[in-house]
């Protein structure tokens, strides 16, 4: 293999890899299958005595696992201005609306995250009760023996119509109350904390009656399925949008079409559910160690993912029982996600290279904490990656330099044996052997680095911390394309001059392809986020400087 082809193959390999990983993220998500042990667990519960049958969600038929997973019809539009049926909760980072019917989260504005940077007064709206983009987080209590229950159809009451985190206060409690017949009362308390997108939820069921009461809690996320239109000009359109769950062992993305054919149901220990999109998510996390029946479905309009306790808790007269869980409605800030459950970080979708991408993000975050600018952070981390691989790339560069020095003699050999390919191959190998040049020496060091550079690509693309982050001069947002295409043009120029430092391919067709490669990359990167182009520009400049230095040393020998 001619070492002069390395850059061509490396570039093509990277493009193929990026295309493959993007295709996987769009089409290759696999719904979780129920293991035999999980199926047995569901059947054991379902086949036990009637007083301990598997709980089901409101307005869902009890019985088989698939029936329990069916979603109710999509509700009509909710009048969000009617304060008689909803309350408003405002903190320093969240503006939330809670429907008094069920105590459901029906709206959430993220005040620190503008939808567009040039329109700072219009925040990202993650939850909505409007039919067109319906997205709500529900919770409730199910009771046994057809007793009254505080499910998400029950009507709660609140002390007032709005709550606001007071200046200087670190937390805000919002309590909703439901009073049923027979002495049953449920208090649903949401706890909001300053600077946090996590919402602690406690549902306390009290029995002041004369008969025992059985209860379980559940969490549910329902969302109208609006798949994004794919566009090369919109990075957001290539991120997965829809329900996900963690089954205690693995993270699963659930495709709506797959759920339509086969709803999901499984018994899970220490799992969680969520609905995600690029940079943002809504998640519901039961208490650690809780075993629940997890279900997911799609009815052609909305996807639904839910978790309900597998066993009823008995509440004797005069007693009460609390059901604790945590909700998260906001950006995929890995520090906050990790505080709730370390596996929630998996919703930051780095794909197949998560094991490489997460350490890279950790490094980016540490340097940003010192520098305070994501653009310079990207440049510094790119430099550190090049430094780590310096010896490896030096070996590749030396091989390139030696091949460049040998190029005139190779051309003579090619002219001499141009009509005899067998003799040409033998003569070239003899020349390599005499000059102690290995044409393949530069290939593997470069290929080894490709996964690391692709992992860095996904780190920059998926990390919400870099959303709308400014750099300098005309680059005011690293998450969108360079408005004047300066960075892509500089990157193309750097690739062109880097190519000139390498030996020209002996084959005319290869030479033409190599000349076109910088143009192709410039066109491809022109609409990429500026942060990604800055990374590739920095990498190209550093590679060019390294190869120039190696050529100078080898040329002096």
* Average confidence (pLDDT) over 378-407: 76
pLDDT at 235: 59
In this structure, the answer to whether residues 303 and 375 fall within a common structural domain is: no
In this structure, the answer to whether residues 115 and 147 fall within a common structural domain is: yes
In this structure, the answer to whether residues 416 and 477 fall within a common structural domain is: yes
Does residue 32 belong to any structural domain of this protein? no
Place of tokens 């082809």: 5
Structure tokens at 277: 């999109």
Q: Model pTM?
A: 0.79
pLDDT at 354: 85
Domain boundary among 347, 377, 402: 347
Does residue 449 belong to any structural domain of this protein? yes
pLDDT at 528: 82
> Does pLDDT of 401 surpass 70?
no
Distance CA 437, CA 429 (A): 9
Helix axes 390-416, 443-462, angle to 10 degrees: 130
Does residue 78 belong to any structural domain of this protein? no
Distance CA 473, CA 470 (A): 9
DSSP 349: -
Altogether, the residues listed in the chain come to a count of 557
In this structure, the answer to whether residues 398 and 324 fall within a common structural domain is: no
Nearest 5°: the CA angle 22, 135, 285 is 80
In this structure, the answer to whether residues 183 and 282 fall within a common structural domain is: yes
What proportion of the chain, given as a percentage, has pLDDT over 90?
Answer: 48
pLDDT in tens, 102-139: 999 999 999 999 998 888 899 999 999 998 999 999 99
Domain with 511 in it? 3-19+367-556
Lowest mean pLDDT segment, chosen from 13-22, 157-166, 292-301: 13-22
In this structure, the answer to whether residues 440 and 541 fall within a common structural domain is: yes
Domain boundary among 317, 347, 377: 347
Does residue 61 belong to any structural domain of this protein? no
Closest CA to 296 of 346, 190, 198, 225: 225
pLDDT at 525: 82
Distance CA 87, CA 333 (A): 27
* Average confidence (pLDDT) over 151-171: 95
State the distance between the two ends of the chain, measured CA to CA, in whole angstroms: 25
Does residue 62 belong to any structural domain of this protein? no
In this structure, the answer to whether residues 215 and 333 fall within a common structural domain is: yes
Lowest mean pLDDT segment, chosen from 251-265, 292-306, 483-497: 483-497
In this structure, the answer to whether residues 206 and 338 fall within a common structural domain is: yes
In this structure, the answer to whether residues 123 and 259 fall within a common structural domain is: yes
Look at the chain and report how many structural domains it folds into: 2
Lowest mean pLDDT segment, chosen from 77-91, 134-148, 539-553: 77-91
Distance CA 97, CA 105 (A): 6
Does residue 27 belong to any structural domain of this protein? no
* Average confidence (pLDDT) over 181-194: 96
Helices (H) and strands (E) in the chain, counts: 13, 20
> Please, what sign has the CA dihedral across residues 404, 405, 407, 413?
negative
**CATH code for the domain of 282:** 2.70.98.90
Place of tokens 């510094």: 380
pLDDT in tens, 427-475: 777 777 776 666 655 556 567 777 887 888 888 888 898 888 999 989 9
Structure tokens at 482: 């360079």
Nearest 5°: the CA angle 23, 28, 30 is 165
Q: Residue 356 CB: number of other CB atoms within 10 A?
A: 18
Structure tokens at 534: 């800055």
> Does pLDDT of 148 surpass 60?
yes
Phi, psi of 231 (to 5 degrees): -150, 135
> Does pLDDT of 395 surpass 80?
no
Does residue 66 belong to any structural domain of this protein? no
Distance CA 434, CA 413 (A): 14
Does residue 63 belong to any structural domain of this protein? no
In this structure, the answer to whether residues 416 and 505 fall within a common structural domain is: yes
Closest CA to 244 of 287, 213, 204, 280: 280
pLDDT at 430: 73
Place of tokens 């809670």: 98
- Confidence at 6, pLDDT banded by 50, 70, 90: very low
pLDDT at 220: 96
Distance CA 68, CA 57 (A): 7
In this structure, the answer to whether residues 318 and 278 fall within a common structural domain is: yes
Place of tokens 């141009």: 418
pLDDT at 304: 95
Burial 272-294 (b: 16+ CB within 10 A, else e): bbbbbbbbbbbbbbbeeebbbbb
Domain boundary among 298, 313, 347: 347
In this structure, the answer to whether residues 376 and 314 fall within a common structural domain is: no
């Amino acid at each position: 293999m001619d070492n002069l082809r390395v850059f061509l193959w490396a570039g093509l390999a990277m493009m193929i890899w990026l295309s493959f990983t993007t295709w996987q993220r769009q089409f290759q998500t696999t719904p979780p299958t129920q293991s035999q042990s999980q199926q047995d667990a569901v059947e054991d519960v379902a086949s036990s005595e009637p007083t301990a049958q598997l709980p089901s969600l409101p307005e869902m038929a009890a019985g088989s696992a698939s029936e329990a997973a069916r979603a109710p019809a999509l509700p009509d539009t909710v009048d969000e201005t009617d304060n008689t049926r909803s309350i408003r909760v405002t903190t320093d980072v969240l503006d939330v609306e809670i429907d008094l019917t069920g105590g459901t989260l029906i709206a959430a504005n993220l005040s620190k995250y503008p939808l567009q940077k040039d329109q700072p007064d219009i925040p990202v709206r993650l939850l909505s009760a409007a039919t067109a983009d319906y997205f709500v987080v529900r919770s409730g209590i199910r009771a046994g023996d057809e007793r009254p229950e505080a499910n998400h159809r029950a009507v709660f009451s609140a002390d007032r119509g709005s709550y606001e985190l007071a200046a200087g206060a670190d937390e805000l409690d919002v309590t909703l109350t439901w009073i049923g017949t027979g002495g049953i009362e449920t208090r649903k308390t949401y706890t909001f904390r300053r600077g946090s997108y996590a919402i602690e939820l406690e549902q306390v069921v009290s029995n002041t009656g004369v008969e025992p009461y059985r209860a379980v809690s559940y969490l549910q996320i329902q969302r109208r399925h609006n798949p994004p239109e794919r566009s090369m000009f919109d990075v957001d359109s290539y991120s997965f949008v829809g329900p996900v769950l963690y089954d205690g062992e693995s993270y699963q993305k659930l495709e709506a079409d797959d759920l339509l054919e086969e709803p999901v149901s499984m018994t899970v220990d220490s799992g969680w559910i969520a609905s995600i999109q690029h940079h943002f998510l809504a998640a519901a996390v039961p208490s650690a160690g809780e075993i629940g029946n997890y279900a997911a479905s799609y009815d052609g309009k909305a996807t639904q993912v839910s978790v309900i306790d597998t066993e009823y808790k008995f509440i004797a007269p005069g007693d009460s029982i609390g059901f604790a869980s945590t909700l998260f409605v906001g950006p995929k800030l890995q520090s906050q996600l990790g505080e709730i459950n370390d596996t929630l970080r998996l919703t930051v979708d780095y794909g197949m290279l998560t094991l490489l991408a997460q350490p890279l993000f950790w490094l980016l975050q540490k340097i940003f904490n010192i520098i305070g600018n994501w653009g310079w952070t990207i440049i510094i981390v790119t430099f550190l990656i090049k430094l780590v691989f310096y010896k490896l790339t030096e070996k590749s560069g030396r091989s390139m330099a030696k091949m460049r020095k040998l190029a005139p003699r190779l051309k003579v050999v090619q002219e001499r044996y141009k009509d005899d390919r067998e003799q040409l191959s033998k003569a070239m190998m003899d020349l390599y052997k005499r000059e102690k040049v290995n044409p393949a020496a530069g290939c593997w060091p470069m290929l080894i680095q490709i996964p690391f550079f692709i992992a860095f690509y996904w780190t920059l693309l998926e990390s919400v911390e870099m959303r709308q982050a400014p750099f300098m001069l005309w680059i005011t947002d690293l998450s969108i394309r360079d408005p004047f295409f300066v960075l892509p043009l500089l990157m193309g120029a750097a690739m062109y001059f880097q190519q000139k430092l390498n030996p020209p391919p002996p084959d005319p067709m290869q030479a033409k392809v190599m000349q076109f490669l910088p143009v192709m990359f410039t066109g491809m990167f022109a609409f990429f986020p500026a942060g990604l182009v800055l990374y590739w520009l920095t990498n190209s400049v550093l590679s060019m400087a390294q190869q120039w230095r190696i050529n100078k040393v080898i040329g002096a020998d």
